[in-house]
Amino acid sequence: MKILTIETTCDETAAAVITDELDVLSSVVASQEELHQRFAGVVPEIAARAHLERCLPVIHEAIHKANIELSDIDAVAVAHMPGLAGSLLVGVTAAKTLAWLLDRPLIGINHLQGHIYACQVAFKKPIFPCIGLIISGGHSTIYHCRSPFDFDPLGGTIDDAAGESFDKVASMLGLPYPGGPSLSKCALNGDPKAFAFPRPFLNDSSRLDFSFSGLKTAVRYEIAGPGAVDFKSLIIDDQRKADIAASFEQAVVDCLVGKTMLAMQKTAIPRVCVGGGVAANRRFREALENRIAEEGGELLIAPMHLCTDNAVLGAIAIEKIKAGQVDDLSLDAVPGLIRS
């Protein structure tokens, strides 16, 4: 079975062809980074319009790279939740049209569940049950994942997502968008202990939530103090900038790792699967690997190219087909963000 998967939840237009044996025949991603760079963040209307321009060419390239014809596709899957409304609508409309045109099954998938399932695609082995940690520009959530579709939320951010805070702090430091990679690169030359930034909820064992808004504000005060400020006019010497970046990054990592370990303790589940763009952060990966190894647990983090948004995560549609969970043409986009 060959499944065409489509991803347009935020600012990446992606398509892939995947078999029911989890073999990835092709994967194509069209990034929009250059379109959003001058705004230091994703502009939803710009993202939606870019998807309109790129969706069909990306699908065509995915079919071509898989060395098949469109008629060889056995099912069409699309991420229809959660995400930006306009972006989701482009992908959902394209998938519904193709499913109708080809008379093939249509499968709507949850983008967040797909991020965790990417670990099963990467490691080619069953991953459930597990603790699922999804950390991206829009989400920072911990789940008890009993099966590919049975996700029980244990906690998550109550305000900013981890990736969102990376972008905002990077912007304050005058670093280029996307902020995550830029800030991490800057932090390599910094001292993670230079500034004692807060780690909200880290010592509260009664909850598995995150809060990055206050941490972001603490960094803002360290950079410029209270009151109105034009960050573009600020001059920060390179070493101070690197120290702030490293100290902020370490604070985020401590929160993410600490709550993940607490989730393992509370559920007695020894396996942790991680997905989302922030999972590409090397300081985070190393810290979590070390802590879980100390506890004798198992850590599965999607490879770098499967952490950021891509259509390979749509492979979870295979599980829905096996379970008989097929959608009809009334499938709709379900926009929004998941918050604790």
Q: Consult the annotation and say whether 180 binds a ligand.
A: yes
Tell me whether residue 338 is in a domain: no
Please indicate, yes or no, whether residues 101 and 132 belong to a single structural domain of this protein.
Answer: no
For residue 165, the enclosing domain spans 127-306
Query: What are residue 111's phi and psi, to 5 degrees?
Result: -55, -40
> Whole-angstrom Cα distance, residue 105 to residue 98?
10
Please indicate, yes or no, whether residues 251 and 317 belong to a single structural domain of this protein.
Answer: no
- For 169-215, the pLDDT digits (tens) are 999 999 999 999 999 999 999 999 999 999 999 999 999 999 999 99
Please indicate, yes or no, whether residues 67 and 10 belong to a single structural domain of this protein.
Answer: yes
Could you tell me the strand order of the sheet in which 24-31 lies? 24-31, 12-19, 2-7, 75-81, 106-110
Tell me whether residue 257 is in a domain: yes
Q: Consult the annotation and say whether 167 binds a ligand.
A: yes
Give the pLDDT score at 339: 86
**pLDDT interval class at 153 (50, 70, 90):** very high
Q: Consult the annotation and say whether 135 binds a ligand.
A: yes
Q: Consult the annotation and say whether 111 binds a ligand.
A: yes
Tell me whether residue 337 is in a domain: no
Please indicate, yes or no, whether residues 156 and 270 belong to a single structural domain of this protein.
Answer: yes
Please indicate, yes or no, whether residues 319 and 293 belong to a single structural domain of this protein.
Answer: no
Please indicate, yes or no, whether residues 278 and 147 belong to a single structural domain of this protein.
Answer: yes
Q: What CATH code is carried by the domain that includes residue 80?
A: 3.30.420.40
Q: Consult the annotation and say whether 110 binds a ligand.
A: no
Q: Consult the annotation and say whether 134 binds a ligand.
A: yes
Residue 340 has pLDDT above 80, yes or no: no
Q: Consult the annotation and say whether 115 binds a ligand.
A: yes
Residue 229 has pLDDT above 90, yes or no: no
Give the pLDDT score at 291: 98
Full-model pTM: 0.94
Structure tokens at 132: 């699922």
Q: Which residues contact 101 (CB under 8 A, 6 or more apart)?
A: none
